[in-house]
Structure 1
């Protein structure tokens, strides 16, 4: 730290090879480093000497908030080369953090078989844009799609939009949806049965 303070006061050399090992680590941050009352700062953050890093890590980790929150706290007030990896190691070694950390379970993908011809299998979905509701219909074979604006998201409104699409392109064998209530209602199931559609 003394060498770093000295180079900040006297000026950085023209070439990185003229710096000692410790100062070389801070070369990429030289424009951000300054000295205030004998303390090295990087912007508004304090550069922590090696002897104090363990104590600072304990303070950052106090409360067992997890890696990201510890890093966020550190970014506000302290800095040293490799601080992020030190925080990650500290949290990874903490039995309390490991016991209570969130475990995100990956949902298995459900692959669909590719249909043999166009308009055999369709995907249906509803979405909203600028406070307007839309129905999108996508062909699994060609990826051709149609989008219709809906006046309401009731099953009957969706059915009324699907009928002209089916009259233009033909009646599919299968409809795939996210099982929204208006796509699995009794009314929609009767429509699917009437048209001979498999729904999933």
Structure 2
């Protein structure tokens, strides 16, 4: 989708041609036709610029291009709210919210990877006194034989994510060393009770760094909710996107997987 495409389709769209004439003359018909009523409600926000129709800073989409815009907005398979936020920041068309909801409800990849049950809300924890004093750590995966080590700052909710090929304690310590070299040592680290986080290797490492290790209760995993919720969201969205990626030939996909980077993981976090 390019600006030139939008300009061309705008010029061909009968409703937008009428709307363009109305904006230029400032005279709305009485009564207002049904197809123009949504635009009439925001008439003071509409203008034209370089063969484009705008509502404020957003492009008014011709109906023929709405489907394409929706697919772009849902490209990474984020949920309804984030898809709406993304599209609202760039485009306007009547009933866009309903179109988004309908698209995601009928998205086969999202349906395939959605949880089978509704999780109970995670319990918020007390806010630390300043950034990077308390972090949460979790391991996501396996996702196509890869794992993601996630580290979340409890104060700012800033996420760090690293793709790793194995989840040994030694690998976890290596990646944490890289992260701590950039941000410094936190005072506390909260983890669940997977073996990589409760073994002697990580315990010794955290102790040598002066970091207090807090383990989430196996009977109350909500105590690590700061990192559990983003990790679950990232896992679902990554798996959903890979559902489409696997339509690409295996030789190309294997090359991509070997070159996963922090930036690529961040695409699924934002």
TM-score normalised by the chain length of structure 1: 0.49
Larger radius of gyration: 1
Higher relative contact order (CA 8 A, sep 6+): 2
TM-score normalised by the chain length of structure 2: 0.37
Query: As a proportion of its length, which structure holds more helix?
Result: 2
